[in-house]
Amino acid sequence: MAKDFSYEAVMSRRPEIMKASVGIDYSLFEQDGIGFDYERMMKETGYTLAEMQEIQGQTGVGNTPLFEMHNLTALARKYAPKGKGARIFIKDEAGNPSGSFKARRAANAVYHAKKLGYKGVIAATSGNYGAAVASQAAMHGLKCIIVQECYDSHYVGQPEIIEKARKCEAYGAEVVQTSVGPELFYIFLKLLEETGYFNASLYTPFGIAGVETLGYEIAMQFREREGKDPDVVVCTNAGGGNLTGTARGLIKAGAVETQVVAASVDLTGLHMASDTDFNRKSFTTGHTGFGMPFATNPDRSDVPRSAARSLRYMDRYVLVNQGEVFYMTEALAQLQGLERGPAGNTALAAAFALAQEMDENQIILVQETEYTGAGKHIQAQLTFARENGIDIFFGNPEDEVKGKNIILPEHPSMMKARDVDMNKLRASYIKNIAAKAEDKVLLEEDIIFLVQETKSTEEFVLAEVKSLGYQVR
């Protein structure tokens, strides 16, 4: 009898498909109540730092350079109060084989797939990670399929997404393009089941552990160069793996005093699964459409328990506007002679504003850059925005209306980093996770888990769960 591949049937088989395609029995880590043993999961299914460095080194991943942004620092100091204006650095991850930090995640995932005997790998991603997986698969001689959420119902795709698809294909991957919405995950599961390939998910322990080498390198390079750790590390935040892995690597290096700041493009009001909103944004990652929901509900990913848990490590969360990121992209190219893609420039736009709050003798680091190409250039993105009815002009970025206009700053002094209320994020996470409790009763172990997950205090968690009507026993 032929297997039923209807949407309902495939989605009902999700648990067994995931277990077969990842090689992890996530039930081993589950605890009584709502929590799970995160550190056990990372330890038992990940690799040691030394092992990850060796794996990545075999394919030329890692050991990327630090650059000091002298000219951007000078510009920031021009508008900062006297004595303020931290030194701005970037970690140039565009030097990795596929052009982004995601080569670190892919190197571990693809290595692990080959170690387990899989013949191919599949990843669901709009781009940079897909290119990284395809690149690593080519090096290891594995087949590769990338499932890409690409276009709206009129078959119109954003230039950056199309550019990433070409890059995946250049490495020999088969790219399966879908429309926005639930189709992506259904096709992804169906392909995993049909092919028996490895799920090279962004959110597995070995994928996140691969980014730990980035955080570790940062600490080691700064100690050698400056004799100290950076004061602030700014991470572009989407699904949370970038920040999680970097922060864990910093901790493993002993850089526990370094503040970890998340930065996202503010796309508040645009729904990422909306057919009409899909092409009314100019950023395909690093925005609030991913950053907020994944911070407050990380297990919405394509594995039962996501290893990317940004609230565990985030000290501060700031937002920048689309026009500010475009402005900073040009500033980086024209003042520093570095042309890089949009994701890292999100963190750079935030760092430019945050540097002006800090003392001159302090250091702020943007921990990743990415490659750029035809569809990633700001000209392509802005042209596409105009074609979709978005007004583009110079003015005050505070007046930007998402999905209506893109406002480039009239003056660099208008660049801002707007704080997100961290306690609201924590409260939202607690509400989402506590909803899994039976009969509105939480265990003491659940409270400990929530404290760890939200990087908060027992008092804060207890106050939140009690306000929601939960009992603790």
pLDDT tens digit string along 43-84?
Answer: 987 789 999 999 999 999 999 999 999 999 999 999 999 999
Task: Report the C-alpha gap between 209 and 109 in whole angstroms.
Answer: 10
Q: Please report the pLDDT score of residue 19 as a whole number.
A: 86
Question: For the stretch 30-44, what's the b/e string if a residue is b when 16 or more beta carbons lie within 10 angstroms of its beta carbon?
Answer: eeebbbbebeebbee
Q: Please report the pLDDT score of residue 317 as a whole number.
A: 98
Cβ contacts of 379 within 8 Å, gap of 6 or more: none
Instruction: Parse the chain into domains and list their residue ranges.
Output: 7-24+100-205, 57-96+209-419, 422-472
Q: Please report the pLDDT score of residue 1 as a whole number.
A: 61
Helix pair angle (378-387, 159-170), 10° resolution: 130
For the segment 156-209, what is each residue's pLDDT rounded down to a tens digit?
988 998 889 999 999 999 999 998 877 888 999 999 999 999 999 889 998 999
pLDDT, mean of residues 216-220? 98
The pTM (predicted TM-score) of the whole model is: 0.96
Q: For 172, how many CA atoms within 13 A lie in the half-sphere containing its CB?
A: 12
- Report residue 353's pLDDT band, with 50, 70 and 90 as the boundaries: very high
**CATH topology (fold) of 57-96+209-419:** Rossmann fold (3.40.50)
pLDDT, mean of residues 444-448? 96
Q: Please report the pLDDT score of residue 312 as a whole number.
A: 98
**Pairing state of beta strands 316-320 and 418-419?**
antiparallel
Q: For residues 127 and 167, is the Cβ–Cβ distance under 8 A?
A: yes
Q: Please report the pLDDT score of residue 181 as a whole number.
A: 78
Q: Please report the pLDDT score of residue 41 as a whole number.
A: 95
Task: Report the C-alpha gap between 17 and 12 in whole angstroms.
Answer: 10
Tell me 64's DSSP state.
Answer: P
Instruction: Identify the three-state secondary structure at position 428.
Output: helix
pLDDT, mean of residues 94-113? 96
Q: Return the minimum-mean-pLDDT range out of 43-52, 84-93, 226-235, 252-261.
A: 43-52
Same fold, 7-24+100-205 and 57-96+209-419: yes
Task: Report the C-alpha gap between 185 and 462 in whole angstroms.
Answer: 36
Q: For residues 233 and 262, is the Cβ–Cβ distance under 8 A?
A: no
The architecture of the domain spanning 7-24+100-205 is: 3-Layer(aba) Sandwich (3.40)
Q: Please report the pLDDT score of residue 416 as a whole number.
A: 97
Instruction: Identify the three-state secondary structure at position 302.
Output: coil
Q: For residues 320 and 263, is the Cβ–Cβ distance under 8 A?
A: yes
Q: For residues 74 and 42, is the Cβ–Cβ distance under 8 A?
A: no
